[in-house]
Amino acid sequence: MKKKPSLLNWTTKLAAFLLLFSLWSDMTFGNTGVTEAAEQRVTLKIKEDNLTNVIQSIMKQSGCEIVFFTSQTTSITCRNIFISSESAEKALETVLKGTGLTFRKQNGKYVILQDPAGKVQREQKLQEVTISGRVTDSGGEPLPAVNIIIKGTKKGTNTDIDGKYRINVPVNGVTLQFSFLGMETKDVKIAASDNTTLNVVLRESDNTLKELTFISTGYQKMNKRDMVGALSTIKADDILRPNYVSIDQMLQGIVPGMIVTNTSARAGTTPSIQIRGTSTLLGDSSPLWVVDGIIQEDPIKITAATLLSDDMKNIIGNQVSWLNPQDIETITVLKDASSTAIYGSKASNGVIVITTKQAKDGSNSLTVNYTGSVTVNGRPNYGQFNMMNSQERIQFADEVFASGVPYSSVPHYDYYSYEGTKRLLIEGYMTQDEFNAKRTFFETGNTDWFKLLTRNAISQNQNLSLSGGSNKMSFTSSLAYTNQQGQEIGNDSKRYSGRLATTYKISERARLTISMTGSYVENTGFGNGVSPLNYAINTSRAIPAYDENGSLAFYQKVRTYKYNVIQPSLGYNIINERNNSSTNSINMRYNANADFTWNLLPWLTYNFTGGYNYSATNLSTYMSEKTYYIANNYRGYDYGSVLPDSDYFKAAILPFGGEYFTNDARQSSYDIQNKISMFWNFKNNSRLNVLLGHELRSATNVTVANTVWGYSKERGEIIIKPTLPTDLVPTAGSIYTYTGYGILDNLYSNRWKKTNQINNFMSLFSILAYTYKDKYIINASIRNDFSNRFGQDINRRLDPTYSLGFSWRAADEKFVKDNLPQITQLNLRATYGIQGNALTNESPELLLNKQSKKSVFNQYYSTISKIPNPNLSWERTTSWNFGADIMLFNKISLVMDYYTRRSNAVISQNIPFEYGILSTTMNGGIIYNKGVEATISFSPINTKNKGFSISLNSSKNWNTTGPTVSTTTLSQYLTGRNGVIMKEGYPLNAFWSYSFAGLDPNNGNPKFNLFDTDPAVAKADQTSFLVYSGETTPSFTGGLNLNFRYKSLSVGTGFSMLLGGKTRLTNPYAEFSSGLKLPSSESNVSRQLVNRWKKSGDELHTNIPSINPTTTTLTSLPNGSSGYLVDFWSLSNTQVVDASFLRCRNIDISWRLNKNTVDYLGLKSLSVTATLNNIFVIASKRFNGLDPELKNSVMPKSLSLSISIGL
């Protein structure tokens, strides 16, 4: 069947016929009747256009008629045509030059004809084509400054900041070559039939150590070659561990210069993080967290914490506890001023920038990934702790009591403690046979508190992600569930999270990304005084948990309730206490971010970044009426043990119900950023990147704290009225009277408290990065913050932070290439700048606490919290950094940095009482930090089927302080970590000890040096009779990571190391009181006391003092104070131990199914991983198996199994 001619074809043929006829008529008959109009002059400024449009412009301006065939002109491109006030004829000569066309004037018209002499030239010209496109990495990220040349020539170009390029090439079989540092060079042949759009993907080179070439600093993404600051970037997938639920826990031993210290083995707790030492005294030394360019606000502060349990302080979480680690793409740690100064008043402690996974340009496909893991943490056991068993504990009590050492208090009558039954025997309330049976029961019971209070904890992580889309719209989403069981029964952490990020390609120049994240985190812990793990360690195993009938056994514990002195003790059972109390934390968080990028011009880009965060946190502690806590504080007798209207009942403040503390906090914050980026390439040998930005940031915190009494959860969560003052009758012998409103006084004495705090910041900032010949790089940044918290002094409002840095890529110099070919990379860096740290709890204004009624005056009154100080400004740190990036043989990478930092910290200064308060805050504390960092990476084997890599990082920090600004107490010298400058020239966390001089051979009492110091000298300098013991924080950090790959099998292991810190050993006499009086019956005792001094000569092989009646005598110190010798001994240098340790963090074994099998199953990928965590710790033997990081506990060993499936 013949194809029917189209209307367009007929129209074209008809137009051509009429044009030819018109030309023939004019040429043949000589139409002389036409009068030429006066020509107008022509002016053209054309960068690039086709010849048809150019000719039409000449016709329009000149008024002349020009006859031509569009089939001849449309395919010809004119470039860089600049004509100023020329005739039409002159203009035609200019634009037709080199096109293979010419013109002739006939009867007032210009006719454009083929130029036979220029035919060959025109044909060659027509064979040149413009190629344009975009260059990205394998992850879809654009690569700026990619070098593009026509192979075999010097003609070339570079990609712009968005990875885009344009180049004119002949189509006679030339090849374009794309090259970029760290990427495989790619050659693409151009043929005549090729499309003019060419997008290229460059992949990481197998011959170089893999590194990210594009780094996010939070405010912008920059080519790593254009950055000079000290930073470390990690791919999240490289450090993900199934036994950790938060990304901060995974960073230990990974980043040089960053100390990550675990504070507890309890589920839901967060570690302590410190970067390059401490630069603040009163503020938070934690780094700033930034997620997708949005600064994360500090955790919600909790107030009115009179009932606040230790658990509540630990399980609140930090700025990123809500974030699912599986959603993270990269983590970048910014350390020096060049990297962090752009964050202004929040950057002094370093910045951790997190980039989450974003949607990639799709191809109408859907990708589904599932990752699931199960982790089992082993239960602790007595083999890990050097504590006595029940038989040893009873023998110890008999032995010491027989030597004449008294108990700290007379043991209570008690059928469930050895000391209590012994008193019953002595006072005739129990026969010898009954006592012997009880003793056997205690000795053989050997209660395993670990078995009763802890468990083999099973935790799980489930993560499902979907991504896909088209070239116009793409998305990524995830749903995650985490359930982490703690070792202690009753300690759990759950997290539900969801995320959706969608990218819209509005046009070739505009792109919008919207992401939303929601999370629900619930942590459960224990009530006041309940710590199952510590209880298991420190409680005598001779105390039974259950009686002979299997019921809970309540041993007698001291009573402190003051309105019932007849009842000397109260029953206590840890299982009952745990089951009838709790601490809960629920956090619901919603984040919404928008990122809009508009490429206004090839060199100019506008970016809007906006984020809104809302967080609601409910903290609660509940103590039931069945607990010892309520009986001891508010009732005076055991639950259910007395009848109504009895004397004990009448003496109870709270005969019914318990206590309930709540802290409801709401935090809302927004961050709005407007940024202009400018990027220029100059003659292909230099480039300039400039960012100008404006930021508005605000955070509002509203907290309501409340405590109620008489709360009964079991009876429908009601509140039962307490005993009124007029109805309470203290028992006989009680010296206290119940006046005022009784327990209601507490209710109206700030037990209900509401706080509001608003922190506003407005900032202007700029970043500049200039690169010359890809070898000489300059970075500069400046930022000024305006805040409602500081800077009331008008002279301090313009007080910017700034930085300047220079880098020299020496390996690219010809003389290095020619003489040192082994050096693949040599980059020398130097930076200087100012970093800031704003203490949000401080203010330059007068702060008053408005109180209720003052009973003396029957009027309202206020107390002063802060006196005004308009000159108070945020802390500032001046930093220098010198670094080198070296790569040898294209396989060994070495990064080294040396830094110095000087911080002007806010301090607490004592002031005269006439001001109404005893101290105020001001600037003036000087803290110095200097250090070195090094990272070595080596991949000796890197082939398709085999791979082996080693990564070692280490850092050393020296911390010292300037002059002291306040009087330091003896207790502060002995304990360290006090938030004060203790002594000039010493570390901030320095501590001192008494100088132990051995044991007295006559009685085994400890002796000390320097106790004969002149009292006047001792009072002037309390360290004169002490010895310096070191600093409590480690000064050296290290990490080692080994990875081996063979075909589908991968094996990896990681080690972390903290060196230089000192700590005191647990005092084996900690449970003894008033010198060395015997502890209460429920207290266990360290096996160390078996080796205590017992007779003359023992001092030659032990340093543990004896237990004898003379140890209860007070001893005077040179400064005039006094204490017990055994307490001095526990704070002496003999109890100081090196807290350094090496931990084997993990061993991973991963197996990935081969491609053929995966394709057969219809999957994209399938891998299975087994991970063993906390395999061993090498530390001082003096810890006796305890973990030096936790001091009095151990990190649990765990085994994780995980599976990852891609569809």
Indicate which CATH number applies to the domain containing 198.
2.60.40.1120
Alpha-carbon span 1094 to 1107, nearest angstrom:
8
User: Are residues 45 and 191 part of one domain?
Assistant: no
Alpha-carbon span 288 to 333, nearest angstrom:
10
- 862 is a domain residue: yes
Greater confidence, 725 or 529? 529
Residue 863 has pLDDT above 70, yes or no: yes
**What is the pLDDT, as a whole number, of residue 116?**
63
- Residue 771 sits in a domain whose CATH number is 2.40.170.20
- 407 is a domain residue: no
Residue 825 has pLDDT above 50, yes or no: yes
- By the 10 Å C-beta count (0-12 exposed, 13-18 middle, 19+ buried), 551 is classed as exposed
User: Are residues 486 and 467 part of one domain?
Assistant: yes
pTM given for the model: 0.78
User: Are residues 726 and 656 part of one domain?
Assistant: yes
User: Are residues 766 and 677 part of one domain?
Assistant: yes
Which residues make Cβ contacts (< 8 Å) with residue 117, sequence separation at least 6?
none
Considering only 15-29, 76-90, 682-696, 1005-1019, which range has the smallest mean pLDDT? 15-29
User: Are residues 877 and 738 part of one domain?
Assistant: yes
- 600 is a domain residue: yes
**Of 373, 698, 393, 419, nearest to 555 (Cα)?**
419
Considering only 91-95, 300-304, 545-549, which range has the smallest mean pLDDT? 300-304
Q: Tens digit of pLDDT for each residue in 940-974?
A: 888 888 999 999 999 999 999 998 877 788 998 99
Strand 200-202's sheet: what is its strand order? 164-170, 128-137, 200-202
Residue 904 has pLDDT above 70, yes or no: yes
**What is the pLDDT, as a whole number, of residue 42?**
86
* H-state helical runs in 470-590: 532-538, 574-579
Greater confidence, 7 or 541? 541
Alpha-carbon span 894 to 888, nearest angstrom:
8
Report strand pairing: 288-291 vs 351-356.
parallel
Instruction: Please give the average per-residue pLDDT across 1181-1207, as a whole number.
Output: 75
The whole domain housing 119 covers 39-125
Alpha-carbon span 1119 to 1110, nearest angstrom:
23
User: Which of the given ranges, 653-662, 732-741, 1070-1079, has the highest pLDDT on average?
Assistant: 653-662
Instruction: Please give the average per-residue pLDDT across 779-786, as a whole number.
Output: 90
Residue 790 has pLDDT above 70, yes or no: no
Residue 303 has pLDDT above 80, yes or no: no
Residue 1025, both tokens: 């009779």
Distance of CA 574 to the CA centre of its chain: 36
Q: Are 120 and 99 in contact (CB under 8 A)?
A: no
Q: Are 906 and 923 in contact (CB under 8 A)?
A: yes
Model confidence band, residue 312 (pLDDT cutoffs 50, 70, 90): low
User: Are residues 661 and 539 part of one domain?
Assistant: yes
User: Are residues 180 and 45 part of one domain?
Assistant: no
**What is the pLDDT, as a whole number, of residue 30?**
34
Specify the number of domains making up the chain: 3
Which residues make Cβ contacts (< 8 Å) with residue 454, sequence separation at least 6?
379, 380, 487, 488, 489, 532, 533, 536
**What is the pLDDT, as a whole number, of residue 218?**
83
- 759 is a domain residue: yes
Residue 1206 has pLDDT above 70, yes or no: no
Model confidence band, residue 404 (pLDDT cutoffs 50, 70, 90): confident
- 1122 is a domain residue: no
The amino acid that residue 482 corresponds to is T
- 1019 is a domain residue: no
User: Are residues 65 and 102 part of one domain?
Assistant: yes
Count Cβ neighbours within 10 Å for each residue of 665-678 and write b for 16 or more, e otherwise.
bebbbbbbbebebb
Model confidence band, residue 801 (pLDDT cutoffs 50, 70, 90): confident
What own/partner pairs with CB < 8 Å and gap ≥ 24 does 845-850 have?
Answer: 845/792
**What is the pLDDT, as a whole number, of residue 470?**
84
Strand partners, 229: none
User: Are residues 880 and 792 part of one domain?
Assistant: yes
Pick left, alpha or beta for residue 636 (phi over 0 → left; psi -120 to 50 → alpha; otherwise beta): left
Domain end residue (candidates: 202, 236, 254):
202
Considering only 64-73, 479-488, 609-618, 977-986, which range has the smallest mean pLDDT? 64-73
Distance of CA 751 to the CA centre of its chain: 33
- Provide the percentage of residues in the chain whose pLDDT is more than 90: 39
Which residues make Cβ contacts (< 8 Å) with residue 152, sequence separation at least 6?
174, 175
Q: Tens digit of pLDDT for each residue in 1155-1185?
A: 888 888 888 888 888 888 888 889 998 888 7
**What is the pLDDT, as a whole number, of residue 1195?**
66
Mean pLDDT of the chain: 84
Give the DSSP per-residue string, 712-776.
ETTTTSEE-----TTT--PPTT------TTTHHHHHTTTSSEEEEEEEEEEEEEEEEEEEETTTE
- 387 is a domain residue: no
Greater confidence, 679 or 68? 679
**What is the pLDDT, as a whole number, of residue 632?**
94
- 228 is a domain residue: no
Q: Are 1077 and 407 in contact (CB under 8 A)?
A: yes
User: Are residues 707 and 759 part of one domain?
Assistant: yes
- Residue 72 sits in a domain whose CATH number is 3.55.50.30
To the nearest 10°, the Cα dihedral for 538, 544, 545, 549?
180
* H-state helical runs in 403-479: 418-426, 432-445, 449-453
Model confidence band, residue 935 (pLDDT cutoffs 50, 70, 90): very high
User: Are residues 935 and 792 part of one domain?
Assistant: yes
User: Are residues 706 and 576 part of one domain?
Assistant: yes
Domain end residue (candidates: 171, 202, 233):
202
Alpha-carbon span 320 to 288, nearest angstrom:
10
Radius of gyration (Cα) for the chain, nearest Å?
39
The amino acid that residue 650 corresponds to is K
Alpha-carbon span 1150 to 826, nearest angstrom:
35
> Look-up: residue for tokens 């890990």?
384
Residue 871 has pLDDT above 50, yes or no: yes
Q: Are 258 and 906 in contact (CB under 8 A)?
A: no
The 8-class DSSP code of residue 268 comes to T
Alpha-carbon span 149 to 41, nearest angstrom:
41
Q: Tens digit of pLDDT for each residue in 432-477?
A: 999 999 999 999 999 999 999 999 999 999 999 999 888 889 999 9
Greater confidence, 241 or 325? 325
Domain end residue (candidates: 202, 225, 259):
202
